Structure 1
Amino acid sequence: MELDNDQIRRYSRHLILPEVGLAGQKKICSTSVLCIGAGGLGSPIAMYLAAAGIGKIGIVDFDTVDFSNLQRQIIHATADVGRPKADSAKETILGINPTCEVVIHNTRLSSENALDIIRQYDIVVDGTDNFPTRYLTNDACVLLKKPNVYGSIFRFDGQASVFAPHLGGPCYRCLYPEPPPPGMVPSCAEGGVLGVLPGIVGCIQATEILKLAIGKGTSLTGRLMLFNALDMKFRELKLRRDPKCPICGDHPTIKELIDYEVFCGIPTEPEVTSANPDEVTVQDMKRALDDPKLNIKVIDVRDPDEYEICHVDSVPQIPLGELPNRFTELDPNQQLYIHCKSGVRSMKALKFLREQGYKYVKSVKGGINAWSDEIDHSVAKY
């Protein structure tokens, strides 16, 4: 391809870099990249790739923009709340660089569609926030021999690498052969994330993509970059391909995409969901608080910082992390209702208390978010 005068002006700061030059910029403009996720990581990745001149950007995302996204997902604006993220991302990308081709895949990446979607692109960048999609992305990229530019974030910590066995490096499974047990690793919604962190990690991922596109520099293939924003420290771990890896090893056993929800231990939701006998509703919780004769004690197991944001009056707090040392404060013969933000940690608390012999424990479905939606709108959601 040839660059016109407008493109020469647009990419002039690239063109005067000897490592890029005219030939390198033509490679960038001829490269296609699939961004899996248009959230915290996908935002800076897509925006900088568009600005750099990547010719074709695919966006895989089926979610909609929420107010809580705006703290870090800079590709979306306040006016985009409620819109599909893929549509919002496309609009922003074209606003940055209208010569970029943007392809929307407004769907959930699955074993059924991953190969068909990924094979259309030269490079894949992983901006996901869940383990099933990470393993799916990894396996599809290995099978199709596509570089997988990986990144992840949590609280103040970030990771980045390039998984490309066909280029001599390891894959994601070489680093993490098995997923953690379901619920073991909190999501950003539960644990929080510093708003600028995905910008830093996403920019590193975008840098790796551009280096792959022009074929210059030393990539993160075979290296895992670790970043801690609170201490402002970077560390690096050397990675090696595992010869026993089930997908990229010497004798691979995975030769097609599998069911990644099952692999990660996530139960499949039945078509008709029945009420969980271990859960109660926020209406039940309200009745317990309004009627002392029921003799039901409600406990909040969120962290103190969350309790300070919002709480239900008269509900005492025992943070989940303190529960192993404080559960004796609770009467094992009294009915207990446990609530958290959305119902995840309260189920963990329920399981722990049951193991200690507490028989009369229920988790409040939806937690304080459901309380805000259904009982008291003045309670803030976060």
Structure 2
Amino acid sequence: MKRTILWMSVGMLLLAGLPGCGFKDIDRRFFVMAIGIDKSEKPDKPYHVSLKMAIPFSKIEPGKTNTYQLVSDDASSITEAIRHMKSKVDKELDFSQAKIVVIGKQMSAEILQKDTLDWFMRRRDIQGAAYMALGDPSAEEVLNVKTDSERFPGDSLFLSFDHDGTESSYIVTEYLFDFHRRVTEKGLDPYLPIIRPTGNAYLIDQVAVFDKTKLKAVLSPEETRIFNKLVAKYQKFDIETKTDQIQFALNVDKIKTNYNIDTSEDLAPVLHLNVRMIGQAEESSKSFYEKPWSYYERLAEQGVAARYTHLLQKLQALNVDPIGFGLHYCATHHNGQQAEWTAWETIYPKLAFKPNVRVEIKSSGGVK
């Protein structure tokens, strides 16, 4: 018994000498909601890092937006910038709520380098599911936008990308973990949605496509919608068809897509893309009962097939593959990793695209 008491006493003395856990109350923390990386004008300090931080409040008043603080710093690395920014604030920086990383357009090439992404992947408190985007003209300008609808800083961007708020086929969502994978994976190239500030709001209707070293092109809004369907499997879509006889729009709520790559020896390489869409009429210049619905379905199919072909040929001409055709080819052939990749590099530039689109109209809408 005496020995037990002795050991307990020794243990209590040892515990008394240990430091505390270092926990800091919420009122002593700045919650970083968004991170911006721009290219600075200082050669010795190339990184211009911006942090959008929420200021905690005990309650959220209706119709009012919580205030935020935007802190920026130039440094030779992201780590150094964060350390120096701590001298500009009076609270501990907490990155556990950081849900979006915005890269300035001038920094687009550098973000593809491993050492730039390294900080985000190594930090335990940076979420792998954080959204990635390209800020035009700069990440700092994007983060400095304060929309009237926000309940807390960055809320409008979060709602846009996770589709809990607006649902738009123009908004392409990309995540940190997926972007990092695309930077390093053969047969799968990176892309980023573009955010442009417009006064006290944002415009997100384009996507930038990259190869492994630089930004190759910015797709138009119409191309972005098709891209969103192919890459992100976005389900809600609309088809606008215009001919000399009729103009109509279909609201598509169900899409199925699959493809196969035919490399038979007696044929040129062909990618067969099968697309099935089911929707209802949303707008039309004429009644849908003047002709059989199959007539309107064929018109819509021709228009959609042309758009798919245009986008696929454009990506091919840019020599980028964000859809992952190359990765699919290497995964379905077993000739050795390097041999498969070498074969795909030969096949992709001469690959022909043959979309097979089937549109089914299930309703003419409320107007007969």
* Common fold: TM-score over 0.5: no
Larger Rg over CA atoms:
2
Q: Which has the higher helix share?
A: 1
**TM-score scaled by structure 2?**
0.24
Structure having the higher strand fraction is: 2
The TM-score, its normalising length taken from structure 1, stands at 0.23
